[in-house]
Chains A and B, each alone.
Chain A
Amino acid sequence: MSSCRKKHGVDGKALKRALASAIGQFSQHVERINAMNVFPVPDGDTGINMYHTLQRAYSEISDIDSSDLPEVSRRFAYGALMGARGNSGTILSQLLKGFAEELQTAEALDTPAFALACKRAAQFAYEAVTSPVEGTILTVAREATETLELHADDDLALSEALRILVRAAQESLRRTPELLPILKESGVVDSGALGLVSFLEGLASTDGKFDSPEKAESPAAAGPGVALDSSSEASYGYDVQFLMLGKDLNIAQIRQDLEQAGWSLLVVGDDSTVKVHIHVDNPALPINYAVQSGATLDDIVIENMELQSRRRPRQEISAPPPEHQRPESYGVIAVAPGEGLRAVFEDLGCEAVIPGGQGRNPSVEDFLVSIKSVNASRAIILPNNRNIIMTARQAAETADEIRVDVLPTTSVVAGISALIALRSFEDSGEDGGDLDSAIDEMRAAGQRVSSIEITRATRDSRLGGLAIRCGDFLATGDGQILVAGATIEASLRDALAKVLKAEHELLTLYYGDGIQEREAGELIERLSFFYSELEFDLVFGGQDLYPYLIGLE
């Protein structure tokens, strides 16, 4: 049959090695990808989200030694699905899922099969997005696979096919600013697209090994990241994570110094806080290094990966739904940043609150854990952030034992309004069983409220005709930057001038972590002088990054 193909193709072992190497290399680009964030607000997490997604994906295959290509690709895709964080991570997981599905009948990966799998991957990713935006990771995936399709035939070596794919992806990446004006305005390419290109580059650079598994049997020590796979089956080593706190920390230097200590190194942060994540045989090495550097250490986590891997139960993509009968009921799961906002959601009867928000996107797995904890026959998720909706939808599709509805709330205040609408529906006692009507009302309620978020610009930039200086207070609403001002009050009042409508009656001010109640109260007092027709509600939110979140309804 396909014995001929098998000889020239790539099997599961080779795929595993290639992926390990690609992920290792990806870790070197995390910061560059993070830095490509379009908005001058601290949400540069595309790189770290994609890296988390890939790492989680790899954890599913790290302890298997199978040449079975369908199995390796399926497990890897499953892991990505479980670990997907953020929009880019979620789209990446869809690419991998599509890729894996196409390979489920393949014995080995040759060029035609690879091209088909890539095509399927891009299709999957497009289907996963409700309204696909061009100039993003989606465009790059599609254009690159289209180019590959034109060239792919039996005679083309797989390594050459991969190079064609990478080149096409790189070209497509350069064009993203032409398709998405906001990228051009900011002088960047799309960060998710850059992430995909980095991953593909990593795969392509594994080159010879990818083509001939025999040659690659020796753990190639050369090149960073290859080491991810160099952990022999006998030893998984330790996963070490910690924060370094200090002044003038040099990320590049830290990375260089730690590179020899282990593998899967990740160093991210700024000159005062650096997060280090590394896999090592000897956990004392990186810790000693950090202590001797003079930095303060915090949040130290050391995990024995071998023990972990033994403990972790094997999960399959299509686990059968549990047999036990769940009660006919439903629960609400909300994502909220900050203790105050968590309390607000709990006060309104939310069954599970997942900490998260801008810059801190929960994973599919986080959602699945919460869905399980709700222990109901249906669940409603309030993601409360644009960048979390896709992950929530992914979780909803994955949780096949219960029905999960994702209400695409794009702000915390919209989520709160939606939840109040649900409680109101329950109060009315009308048609208690008709949750679908309740969800309609929740959706309408979430859309009725306007949200303004105040945050601080982390760098100089120009956006939407606004000159923004580092340190300015930005007011954003509905995903748009409304105004920038030198003080919180100035930018909030300018934003209100833009957003406030005659029908608005209530302004709720959720004050964040680091804001004193008295300070917030004084702000309300001054606002009530200018907006005497409004009612005000002051609530502790405790969110980070945003001194104030404002709801108008």
Chain B
Amino acid sequence: MTSKRIQVAADSVCDLPDEIVRNLDIRIIPTYVNIGGQSIPDDGVGLDRQAFYRQLPSMTAQPTTAAPSPGEAEAFYRNMLNDGAENIVSIHVPERLSGVLNTMRLGARAVDAERVRLVDSLQLTFGIGLQVWAAAELAVEGASLNDILEAIERVRQHTEVYAIIDTMQYLQRSGRVNSLVAGIGTLLKIKPIVRVADGDITALARSRTWSRAEAKLKALTQDQAPLDRLAVLHIDNRLGAERFLDSIREIAPQETHIIEVCPTLGAHIGPGSIGVATLNQDWRN
């Protein structure tokens, strides 16, 4: 790997499985979850996901989330440059929803802004992960910076992220997607089926029951076939995710993962939800 000139980096919201991160030498900077005066890095180590989600419904104060500090961002990039990277492609959670990109920009300026290409993924969770994954594969193959940036764009255009929000109460409390919340209404329990695109979350349908919401999610997922890659996402609902995957088994590609969404995102969405991140095969053309 010493010949690698381009280093791919991302924040922990990309939800890439550890083995992909390790195998492709992707650098991940953790975001933070603040619980009861403590700021815990969301790196899959310091914060036990299962325990966090189990406790979330009974937490009196909604946990908040935070971007890394500019100093951490600076150190993050400096390490990569010290390790021999010529350029860095750094792919992140949408600027519209988070302060991460702003911090990363400050960090990049502190080292060498010219050599760090910041990318707004305009996606969430594995929707970011799909871009990071493809970029890292190309980087390992020695592709040019332009090829990598173009590939990221193609992946973005062929990616869909859909989810069933089991309860609106967390999004309501979080206040990050007020347009969505206002549109859904607040007096009845409604399970919206949402789409993440262009750095925003919008409702595609709304249902009062899980089974109808799931039927809609299934139809939306099937519309994306043939798939190159697929992740079934969940928040403290592995069983639900497995059952859903079974129901779309015939379109699930070789590269299929079941992924529990990171607490940084999950704290705003709440337990019970499931979703998908799909990548249509056409992205390679």
B205 touches A427 (CB 8 A): yes
A506 touches B189 (CB 8 A): yes
The distance in angstroms between the C-alpha atoms of A420 and B192, with both chains bound, is 10
The distance in angstroms between the C-alpha atoms of A420 and B188, with both chains bound, is 10
With a cutoff of 8 Å between Cβ atoms, the chain B residues found around residue A427 in the complex are 183, 192-193, 202-206
Q: A536: shortest Cβ distance to chain B, in Å?
A: 9
The distance in angstroms between the C-alpha atoms of A209 and B187, with both chains bound, is 60
A428 touches B188 (CB 8 A): no
**Which of the four size classes fits the interface of chain A?**
20 to 34
B-contacting residues, A323-348, CB 8 Å: 343-344, 347-348
What's the dominant secondary structure at chain B's contact region?
mixed
Q: B68: shortest Cβ distance to chain A, in Å?
A: 35
B208 touches A553 (CB 8 A): yes
Q: B59: shortest Cβ distance to chain A, in Å?
A: 21
Residue-wise, chain B 189-213 has the 8 Å CB interface mask toward A (1 for contact) of: 1101100000000111111111100
Residue-wise, chain B 168-195 has the 8 Å CB interface mask toward A (1 for contact) of: 0000000000000001011111101100
Residue-wise, chain A 532-545 has the 8 Å CB interface mask toward B (1 for contact) of: 00010101000000
B204 touches A553 (CB 8 A): no
Q: A332: shortest Cβ distance to chain B, in Å?
A: 13
A503 at the interface (CB under 8 A from B): yes
A347 touches B188 (CB 8 A): yes
Q: A539: shortest Cβ distance to chain B, in Å?
A: 6
The distance in angstroms between the C-alpha atoms of A348 and B186, with both chains bound, is 9
B185 touches A349 (CB 8 A): yes
The distance in angstroms between the C-alpha atoms of A427 and B205, with both chains bound, is 5
Q: A116: shortest Cβ distance to chain B, in Å?
A: 53
With a cutoff of 8 Å between Cβ atoms, the chain B residues found around residue A423 in the complex are 183, 206
Question: B188's contact among A429, A503, A508, by CB below 8 Å, is which?
Answer: A508
The distance in angstroms between the C-alpha atoms of A200 and B103, with both chains bound, is 84
Q: Which residue of A lies closest to B190 (CB)?
A: A420
Question: B187's contact among A417, A429, A539, by CB below 8 Å, is which?
Answer: A539
Which one of A349, A423, A539 has the greatest number of beta carbons of chain B within 10 Å?
A: A423
| Known contacts A420-B208, A505-B209, A506-B209; A537 and B188 CB within 8 A of each other | yes
The distance in angstroms between the C-alpha atoms of A506 and B210, with both chains bound, is 9
With a cutoff of 8 Å between Cβ atoms, the chain A residues found around residue B192 in the complex are 427
A539 touches B185 (CB 8 A): no
Q: A78: shortest Cβ distance to chain B, in Å?
A: 39
The distance in angstroms between the C-alpha atoms of A553 and B183, with both chains bound, is 22
Q: B116: shortest Cβ distance to chain A, in Å?
A: 37
The distance in angstroms between the C-alpha atoms of A539 and B210, with both chains bound, is 19
The distance in angstroms between the C-alpha atoms of A429 and B192, with both chains bound, is 14
B206 touches A347 (CB 8 A): no
With a cutoff of 8 Å between Cβ atoms, the chain B residues found around residue A539 in the complex are 187-188
Q: Which residue of B lies closest to A448 (CB)?
A: B212
The distance in angstroms between the C-alpha atoms of A233 and B210, with both chains bound, is 66
Residue-wise, chain A 409-434 has the 8 Å CB interface mask toward B (1 for contact) of: 00000001100100110011100000
With a cutoff of 8 Å between Cβ atoms, the chain A residues found around residue B210 in the complex are 505, 535
With a cutoff of 8 Å between Cβ atoms, the chain B residues found around residue A508 in the complex are 188-189, 208
A424 touches B205 (CB 8 A): yes
The distance in angstroms between the C-alpha atoms of A435 and B211, with both chains bound, is 25
The distance in angstroms between the C-alpha atoms of A161 and B209, with both chains bound, is 61
| Known contacts A420-B190, A427-B192; A347 and B207 CB within 8 A of each other | no
A344 touches B188 (CB 8 A): yes
With a cutoff of 8 Å between Cβ atoms, the chain B residues found around residue A505 in the complex are 209-211
Q: Which residue of A lies closest to B210 (CB)?
A: A505
Q: Which residue of B lies closest to A503 (CB)?
A: B211
Residue-wise, chain A 135-167 has the 8 Å CB interface mask toward B (1 for contact) of: 000000000000000000000000000000000
The distance in angstroms between the C-alpha atoms of A464 and B159, with both chains bound, is 58
Q: Which residue of B lies closest to A510 (CB)?
A: B188
| A427-B192, A553-B209 given; 16 more Cβ-contact pairs under 8 Å | A347-B186, A348-B185, A420-B207, A424-B205, A427-B183, A427-B202, A427-B204, A428-B205, A503-B211, A506-B189, A508-B188, A535-B209, A537-B188, A537-B189, A537-B208, A553-B208
Measured CB to CB, the residues of A under 8 A from B are 343-344, 347-349, 416-417, 420, 423-424, 427-429, 503, 505-506, 508, 535, 537, 539, 553
Q: Which 3 A-B pairs have the closest CB atoms?
A: A347-B185, A537-B189, A505-B209
Measured CB to CB, the residues of B under 8 A from A are 183, 185-190, 192-193, 202-211
Interface pairs (6), CB distance under 8 Å: A349-B185, A420-B208, A424-B205, A427-B183, A505-B209, A506-B208
